[in-house]
């Protein structure tokens, strides 16, 4: 009997690419992609199903398909309708219904969840390097990080109730790369990078190709036991170094002058940065990638530096005076 895999979030680049790569590398599996809206372009080897994860029909779908592997890749989708309130509702209620359906599936063998290193938080009292088992110091601001803390709690509950199945939580650093539409990637594309006066935080990012590779590896080669792993590009850069790599000027500003900064830049993109991203750009965050190399991403294609360099402004354009 062939494996049946469902991948959520195929309306986003990350989920769609994971579904396509799983289908390519696992030709004997039946791969179904779940999304709340029709997919504009068919994904090779993947049957798309339009379903809202908050719908009660989700449990019937999981049971009917006789699902054995679930890849929950929609938590990090930046394009959820309804703003932050809609995103929170989809993330928390959608994950709850999906994992409840998984728990009742007799054929379930493995669950992979795409989470974020933002669950570690970013603050003055944070450790120099986070490990997967470390918790955030203090409370997290409202955002994806807090959603993922709740989602990871639901994953742990599933693991307790279904000891016969394994779970892998892949915590991704901020995803960057050409054409990536995450808040951090859009911040890094600003013509001038506003930074907080007196702070030059240490940062890590992950290239979207490595993020996809880690999730696919976690799906196709599940561990013997449940696992939580942080995924980021090797190496660390400060924000000023990142600006130099990108070929963009940076401008220190006083806290509370966000509106003035946006007016000066003539752009509104910085408004997409959440409180958790502002904390990150003040205090920074670095995670240990030892476990990553031993499990889901033995040979990452990009370091933090080269991932940033993939978004750099070409020298000819910089010398021509255009950002």
The pLDDT assigned to 87 comes to 80
The pLDDT assigned to 82 comes to 62
Between the alpha carbon of residue 241 and those of residues 167, 199, 203, 305, 316, the distances in Å are 37, 13, 10, 9, 20
| Claim: this prediction has a pTM higher than 0.85 | yes
DSSP labels, 169-185: EEEEPEEESTT--SHHH
Rounded to an integer, the average pLDDT of 294-304 is 97
Asked whether residue 159 is assigned to any structural domain, the reply reads yes
Matching residue, tokens 């050409």 = 178
Q: pLDDT per residue over 63-94, tens digit each?
A: 999 999 999 999 987 666 667 777 888 889 99
Count up the domains in the chain and report the number: 1
Share of the chain above pLDDT 90, in %: 75
Asked whether residue 268 is assigned to any structural domain, the reply reads no
Residue 12, domain CATH: 3.40.50.720
For the chain, what is the mean pLDDT? 89
Spatial CA neighbour of 100 closest among 146, 108, 164: 108
The pLDDT assigned to 90 comes to 84
The pLDDT assigned to 264 comes to 45
- Please give the residue that has the higher pLDDT: either 321 or 31: 31
Asked whether residue 246 is assigned to any structural domain, the reply reads no
Share of the chain above pLDDT 70, in %: 89
The answer to whether residue 255 scores a pLDDT higher than 60 is: yes
Matching residue, tokens 């958790």 = 276
Asked whether residue 283 is assigned to any structural domain, the reply reads no
Asked whether residue 33 is assigned to any structural domain, the reply reads yes
Q: Which helix (H) or strand (E) holds 95?
A: helix 83-104
The pLDDT assigned to 88 comes to 85
Domain that holds residue 23: 4-173+207-231+288-295
Asked whether residue 243 is assigned to any structural domain, the reply reads no
The answer to whether residue 277 scores a pLDDT higher than 60 is: yes
Lowest mean pLDDT: which of 18-22, 135-139, 193-197, 221-225?
135-139
Asked whether residue 282 is assigned to any structural domain, the reply reads no
Asked whether residue 132 is assigned to any structural domain, the reply reads yes
């Amino acid at each position: 009997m062939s494996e049946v895999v469902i991948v959520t979030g195929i309306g986003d680049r990350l989920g769609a690419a994971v579904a396509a790569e799983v289908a390519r590398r696992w030709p004997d599996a039946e791969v179904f992609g779940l999304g709340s809206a029709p997919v504009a372009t068919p994904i090779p080897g993947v049957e798309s199903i339009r379903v809202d994860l908050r719908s009660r029909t989700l449990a019937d779908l999981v049971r009917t398909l006789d699902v054995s592997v679930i890849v929950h890749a929609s938590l990090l989708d930046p394009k959820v309708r309804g703003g932050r309130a809609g995103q929170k509702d989809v993330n928390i209620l959608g994950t709850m219904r999906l994992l409840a359906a998984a728990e009742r599936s007799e054929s379930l063998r493995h669950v992979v969840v795409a989470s974020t290193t933002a669950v570690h938080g970013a603050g003055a009292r944070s450790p120099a390097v986070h490990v997967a088992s470390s918790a955030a110091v203090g409370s997290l601001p409202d955002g994806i990080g807090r959603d993922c803390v709740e989602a990871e709690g639901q994953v742990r509950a599933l693991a307790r109730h279904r000891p016969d199945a394994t779970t892998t939580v892949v915590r991704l650093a901020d995803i960057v790369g050409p054409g990536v539409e995450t808040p951090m990637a859009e911040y890094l594309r600003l013509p001038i990078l506003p930074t907080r006066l007196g702070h030059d935080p240490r940062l890590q990012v992950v290239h979207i190709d490595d993020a996809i590779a880690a999730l696919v590896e976690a799906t196709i080669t599940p561990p013997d036991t449940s696992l939580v792993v942080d995924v980021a590009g090797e190496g660390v850069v400060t924000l000023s170094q990142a600006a130099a790599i990108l070929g963009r000027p940076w401008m220190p500003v006083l806290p509370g002058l966000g509106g003035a900064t946006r007016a000066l830049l003539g752009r509104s993109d910085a408004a997409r940065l959440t409180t958790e991203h502002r904390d990150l750009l003040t205090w920074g965050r670095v995670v240990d990638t030892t476990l990553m190399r031993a499990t889901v991403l033995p040979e990452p294609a990009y370091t933090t530096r080269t991932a940033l360099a993939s978004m750099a402004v070409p020298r000819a354009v910089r010398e021509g005076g255009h950002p």
